[in-house]
Structures are given as C-alpha cells and as structure tokens.
Amino acid sequence: MDDLMEKAKNIHSLFGLPGKVALVTGGGKGLGEAMSLALAGAGADVVIAGKTLANAQRVADRISEMGRRSLAVEVDVREADQVTRMISTVVKQFKRLDILVNNAGVADVKPITEFPLDRWEYIMDVNVRGTFLCSREAAKVMLPQGKGKIINISSLQGSAGRAGDPAYAASKAAVNLMTMSMACEWASQGICVNAIAPTWCWTDLTAPYLGKSHFYQELQRRIPAGRAGNREDLFGIVVFLASAASDFINGAVIPVDGGAIACDGFPIVPS
C-alpha cells in the first residue's frame, strides 16, 4: 500500500487533539466557552482564562466533567505581567502549551463624535494589545517545542467599517494584520497563526440586539444562510485550526459568517 493511501486511511487522526494543551482567553462565556468545550471534546486539556475567575472556573468544571484536565486562571490580558504569569502557570501545571485561542475581546458602538477616548483605548488595549501580549508569551513556549497553534478571534467587522464603530472594527483589522505578520515570522519554526472571523452569533452579550425583530430581519437579509451564527458553529473551525489537519495553513483569516462576506447585502434584483 502506498504512503498516500496509508495516510488517507488514518485521516480522522489528523483532527484529534489527544495529549494537547490549549489555553483559551475569555473562555468563561460566549464563544470562548463554546470553543473551549470543542477543544476538550477533541481530546485536549484546556486552560480557561478570564477576567472573572468564577466564569472561568464554571467552564473548567464542565471540561473536567468531560474527562479532560482543566484549570481556571484569572487574567487581564492588557497587563503584561499577568499574561506572563498566566503562561508560566500553564507550563508549570501541564508542562507544555500547544494551542492558544485569543478570544478575549470587547466592543462598543456609539456616534463617533461622542465616543469617549478612554473607551476607545480600552477596546484597543483588550483586543489588540491583549492579543499581542498573549501571542508573544505563548510563542516563547511554542518556539522551543518546534510546534504550536495560535488562533486569533477576529470578526467580519475587521473587513468592513460601520457607523458608530471607530474602535472595534479597527481593532479587528489590526488583529487580522497581526495574524499575518506572526505567521510570516513563525511559520518556518512550526507555529501556525490564523484567525477566525465570525459574524453576529447568539450569545448572552448579543441576544439583546439579535432579539430585536427589525435588526434580526435586516441581518437575515444580509446573510445568505438566513440566520445569525450559533456558538456551536465555531466548533469545527477551532478544532481544525488547532489540529494537525491545518499544518500548512498560515496567516489566514477565515470567515464563519453564513456567506455574508461573499454577498454585498443588497436585495435580489426583481425580474
């Protein structure tokens, strides 16, 4: 049997994560919780990091119930010393770090002329500075290992502006280009850096907006799939990017958006 056929027979093993150690920032709720559970479901041990320890601990407990090792860590990703301590804690407890998901993020929308500077700085600090600090410190562990996966959570908004959004959209555009720069530098050393760019997904944070019928109907019109995303829509992509199946993918920003970025959002032209 030729080598290619032998590899094809074992294709499912490419997607498994047994023996891997993952760290998910902002993993205590929303999309972070979903991706943490997905990684655990694929066989990884998962460290849940977040600003609210109780939320992180709740998800860590759920992962333990799945039969995987887990740990909750309190961290403010804006603070370099806290990020360094978080990475050190992971390595001390698990002896390695294979997967980092930079999910911690914040958003706000209001008229640009009324947008407070301190709020703009906060959003940029969490979304951009936090992603940089966590990636930098994780890479210091992954580079000696000769292997690692860094998955940055971007947004569809990183590719398009919108009224009232001088900070979040800009921050996610920065995450996209930072993803590419990190990939350029680390790909030859075994680290894959990619980003996931979701559209609106149902979470506790977005439910008050998606629950408004006029807004949701407009969203449905703009998304070819006809709905907002669900948290489990990120299961497959995060496991894929964390696994050996994506070892030759670097610097990609992958939309999970029901086709929204492929469509201009205008209604069908009447016949």
Do the beta carbons of residue 249 and residue 206 sit within 8 Å?
A: no
Query: Which residues are tagged catalytic?
Result: 168
CA 38 to chain centre: 12
User: Does residue 153 contact residue 103 with C-beta atoms inside 8 Å?
Assistant: yes
**Residue that the structure tokens 């280009």 belong to:** 177
Q: What are the residues whose beta carbons fall under 8 Å from the beta carbon of 106, sequence distance 6 or more? A: 122, 123, 126, 127, 168
Cβ-proximal residues to 67 (8 Å cutoff; 6+ apart), any chain: none
Cβ atoms 229, 156 nearer than 8 A: no
